[in-house]
């Protein structure tokens, strides 16, 4: 029996004035297409995409390109829930709303949601950290790393960028070592037989997939088992040329539809379709932790936040930091609609203030008695409870509410400066949850939890005073600050920092202290590893790499590098005095230097150091 496609094809080739009549150039090419491709062609024409074929020459010319065009259409169709028909329909609706200036929060009243505000190092914090570290063996980690990083402009992937240059540890290595350290700590705390391997999923995209895989493979997965890490690649979506959602052709290749990333919201649909969530459920896992590619502090906040999720039974826990009113960071907000719907979600700062003003708060977003806005700042790291997450995804298949952000040529809003596309965000997941869902947040100090690397030096230098730079320079300095403050709280005498300017950014420079996650993950770990009478001067550098290194009565004025195998217990004591490692300013226009150095505005001149290195098992005391 003849298939529909064959019938359509013969009808049209025979000159029938059917579905293909609006695209004569396509009609004259139908014989080179497969039945599936003809179906796709039909769909495109019915969806008003005739322009895609306007330049097609007669059959026999560019046939391979024409087939490749349909291969791409087929991929775009398969990777979007509901296919291209749904994509185009959703785009038309969202573009019409955007043109009409429709407010997505119409009918909603904002209020402050409930959540936990933690103080680093107090008893409650320590208990929560212990609870979280115990729970970690029931967790799976998901790293969203498909972003282009256009603002940073780094030529490599962001995950390969050093989080700090004292040790040169890149973000991916730091993340993996943190998860492995949690794995060990969690098994120890659970006291029973425990052989769990905490899974890590990395969402990549065409822009990041190959280099991410290479980075893992060329470093033996930084100590993880290869089977423990799974890469899921997100597909891009078609770009749109106008309000009618006409798909944009690539200006360099008229047989390709231009595509752009759909946003990190894709992670939910990808996880759902991968089958991993149900596999984790079968393994008895309870939590899925989502995080981003360049936050060198995040794992300092993970144990306590997971402790909050576990003790409060949160289905969704958004990690947050204190936020000054009107500060340029989204606020976690409860929204209640006149029709009874409620949701706790991130509301962008430029929408929160007008929304508050429009709903009876004459002053909009203002600081409360704490000196901060009652709407905490979203840092886009989420902890979801697995079971309700799966239940929700069974309903939505992971589809996340999308938005469109066209840059219009003028106020008539009829044409765009450049093509646009639909996008979706990971943190919009709670939008579809029922009111019974337990959605909360955990606020921690910014110095402890959040220092992303998003901006290139030029743009960072232009950030208005008082706002975070979010550059490679500030990201690295934030790690030294956090480690210094944690040691100070543990009783180590840490000298005050100094101010300095790198790449036009004024930053606070603390001693360059780093440690591997296996040395200490929680504040209790740190306290166990440092004894009395330790001190570190501002010009000092200290790098600790070893699970059982103890610092006792140690004073450092210079550079100390300690390494020891796990089976070696080493007590380091005495006084370190040497020329140390010096931060040297560099000119970011000096092309002879590597990009990783240029982007932070300094290099470390390793003049002199004391190295303590134990490679044999046993118990040792090293007097400096
Ligand atoms: P960012 O906001 O940092 O965006 O993404 P970006 O695309 O990486 O950088 P710009 O905007 O081009 O400068 C936050 C997190 O979401 C991931 C990023 O890799 C980062 O970890 N992301 C972003 C995805 O995984 N997919 C996307 O489509 C977009």
Structural domains of the chain, with CATH: 4-79 (no CATH), 103-453 (3.90.550.10), 458-623 (2.160.10.30)
- Does position 528 have pLDDT exceeding 70, yes or no? yes
**What is the distance in angstroms between the CA of the first residue and the CA of the last residue of the chain?**
88
pLDDT of residue 319: 98
d(C-alpha 123, C-alpha 555), whole Å: 28
Model confidence at 193, pLDDT cuts 50, 70, 90, reads low
Model confidence at 22, pLDDT cuts 50, 70, 90, reads confident
- Does position 14 have pLDDT exceeding 60, yes or no? no
- Does position 10 have pLDDT exceeding 70, yes or no? no
Q: Is 582 in the pocket of ligand 1 (CB under 6 A)?
A: no
d(C-alpha 605, C-alpha 619), whole Å: 33
DSSP assignment of 565-607, as one string? Answer: -TTEEEEEEEEEES--EEEEE--TT-TTS-HHHHTTTEEEEE-
| Ligand 1 atom 1: residue of nearest CA | 147
pLDDT of residue 424: 96
Ligand 1 centroid – CA 403 distance (Å): 16
Mean local confidence (pLDDT), 266-290:
97
- Does position 335 have pLDDT exceeding 60, yes or no? yes
Q: Is 423 in the pocket of ligand 1 (CB under 6 A)?
A: no
Taking the CA of residue 208 as reference, the ligand 1 atom at the shortest distance is 19
Ligand 1 centroid – CA 146 distance (Å): 6
Higher pLDDT, 554 or 9: 554
Q: Is 201 in the pocket of ligand 1 (CB under 6 A)?
A: no
Mean local confidence (pLDDT), 463-475:
93
Percent of the chain whose pLDDT exceeds 70:
97
pLDDT of residue 196: 86
Quickly tell me which residue has 């940073």 as its tokens: 152
pLDDT of residue 589: 78
Model confidence at 188, pLDDT cuts 50, 70, 90, reads confident
Ligand 1 centroid – CA 427 distance (Å): 13
- Does position 7 have pLDDT exceeding 60, yes or no? no
Task: Output the average pLDDT for the chain.
Answer: 94
d(C-alpha 24, C-alpha 16), whole Å: 11
Q: State pLDDT tens for residues 78-121.
A: 989 889 999 999 999 999 999 999 888 989 999 999 999 999 99
Model confidence at 19, pLDDT cuts 50, 70, 90, reads confident
DSSP assignment of 242-304, as one string? Answer: ETT-PBPEETTEEEEE-EE---TTHHHHHHHHHTHHHHHHHTT--EEEEEETTBTTHHHHHHH
pLDDT of residue 192: 66
Q: State pLDDT tens for residues 140-174.
A: 999 999 998 999 999 999 999 999 999 999 999 99
Taking the CA of residue 204 as reference, the ligand 1 atom at the shortest distance is 25
Taking the CA of residue 146 as reference, the ligand 1 atom at the shortest distance is 25
Q: Is 11 in the pocket of ligand 1 (CB under 6 A)?
A: no
Q: Is 149 in the pocket of ligand 1 (CB under 6 A)?
A: yes
- Does position 70 have pLDDT exceeding 70, yes or no? yes
Higher pLDDT, 189 or 412: 412
Q: State pLDDT tens for residues 402-416.
A: 999 999 999 999 999
pLDDT of residue 469: 96
Model confidence at 195, pLDDT cuts 50, 70, 90, reads confident
pLDDT of residue 454: 96
Q: Is 121 in the pocket of ligand 1 (CB under 6 A)?
A: no
Q: State pLDDT tens for residues 487-514.
A: 999 999 999 999 999 999 999 999 999 9
pLDDT of residue 544: 98
Predicted TM-score of the model (pTM): 0.93
Q: Which of 144, 146, 147 to mutate to test the pocket of ligand 1 (most atoms within 8 A of CB)?
A: 147
Closest C-alpha among 42, 45, 52 to residue 11: 42
- Could you tell me whether strands 108-111 and 331-337 are parallel, antiparallel, or unpaired per DSSP bridges? antiparallel
| Ligand 1 atom 4: residue of nearest CA | 147
């Amino acid at each position: 029996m003849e298939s529909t496609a064959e019938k359509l094809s013969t009808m049209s080739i025979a000159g029938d004035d059917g579905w293909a009549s609006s695209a004569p150039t396509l009609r004259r090419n139908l014989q080179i297409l497969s039945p599936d491709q003809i179906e796709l062609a039909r769909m495109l024409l019915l969806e008003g995409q005739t322009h895609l074929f306007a330049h097609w020459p007669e059959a026999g010319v560019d046939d391979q390109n024409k087939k490749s065009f349909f291969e791409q259409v087929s991929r775009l169709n398969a990777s979007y829930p509901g296919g291209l028909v749904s994509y185009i329909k959703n785009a038309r609706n969202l573009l019409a709303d955007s043109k009409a200036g429709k407010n997505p929060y119409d009918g909603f009243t904002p209020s402050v949601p409930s959540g936990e505000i933690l103080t680093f190092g107090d008893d409650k914090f320590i208990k929560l950290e212990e609870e979280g570290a115990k729970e970690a063996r029931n967790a799976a980690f998901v790293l969203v790393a498909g972003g282009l990083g256009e603002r940073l402009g780094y030529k490599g992937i962001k995950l390969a960028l050093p989080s700090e240059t004292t040790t040169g540890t890149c973000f991916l290595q730091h993340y993996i070592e943190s998860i492995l350290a949690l794995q060990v700590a969690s098994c120890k705390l659970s006291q029973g037989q425990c052989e769990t391997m905490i899974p890590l999923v990395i969402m990549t995209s065409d822009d990041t997939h190959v280099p991410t895989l290479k980075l893992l493979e060329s470093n033996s997965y930084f100590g993880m088992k290869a089977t423990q890490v799974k890469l899921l690649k997100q597909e891009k979506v078609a770009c749109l040329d106008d309000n009618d959602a006409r798909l944009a052709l690539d200006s360099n290749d008229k047989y390709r539809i231009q595509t752009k990333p759909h946003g990190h919201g894709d992670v939910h649909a990808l996880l759902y379709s991968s089958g991993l969530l149900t596999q984790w459920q079968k393994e008895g896992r309870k939590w899925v932790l989502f995080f981003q590619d360049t936050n060198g502090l995040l794992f300092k906040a993970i144990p306590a936040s997971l402790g909050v999720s576990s003790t409060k039974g949160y289905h969704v826990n958004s990690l947050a930091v204190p936020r000054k009113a009107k500060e340029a960071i989204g606020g976690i907000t409860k929204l209640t609609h006149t029709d009874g719907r409620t949701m706790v979600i991130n509301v962008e700062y430029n929408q929160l203030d007008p929304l508050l003003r429009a709903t009876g708060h004459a002053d909009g977003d203002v600081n409360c008695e704490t000196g901060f806005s009652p709407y905490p700042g979203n840092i886009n790291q989420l902890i979801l409870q697995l079971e309700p997450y799966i239940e929700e995804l069974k309903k939505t298949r992971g589809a996340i509410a999308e938005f469109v952000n066209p840059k219009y040529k003028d106020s008539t809003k009829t044409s765009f400066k450049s093509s646009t596309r639909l996008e979706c965000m990971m943190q919009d997941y709670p939008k579809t949850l029922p009111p019974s869902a337990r959605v909360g947040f955990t606020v921690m100090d910014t110095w402890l939890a959040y220092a992303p690397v998003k901006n290139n030096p030029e743009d960072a230098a232009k950030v208005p005073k008082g706002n975070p730079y979010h550059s490679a320079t500030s990201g690295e300095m934030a790690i030294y600050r956090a480690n210094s403050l944690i040691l100070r709280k543990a009783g180590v005498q840490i000298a005050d920092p100094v101010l300095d300017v790198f790449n036009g950014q004024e930053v606070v420079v603390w001693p360059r202290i780093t440690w591997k996650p296996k040395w200490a993950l929680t504040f209790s770990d740190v306290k166990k590893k440092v004894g009395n009478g330790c001190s570190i001067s501002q010009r000092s550098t200290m790098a600790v790499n070893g699970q059982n290194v103890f610092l006792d009565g140690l004073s450092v004025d210079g550079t100390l590098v300690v390494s020891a195998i796990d089976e070696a217990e080493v007590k380091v004591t005495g006084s370190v005095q040497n020329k140390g490692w010096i931060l040297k300013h560099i000119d970011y226009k000096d092309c002879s230097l590597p990009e990783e150095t240029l982007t932070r505005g300094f290099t470390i001149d390793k003049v002199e150091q004391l190295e303590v290195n134990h490679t044999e098992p046993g118990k040792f005391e090293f007097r400096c």
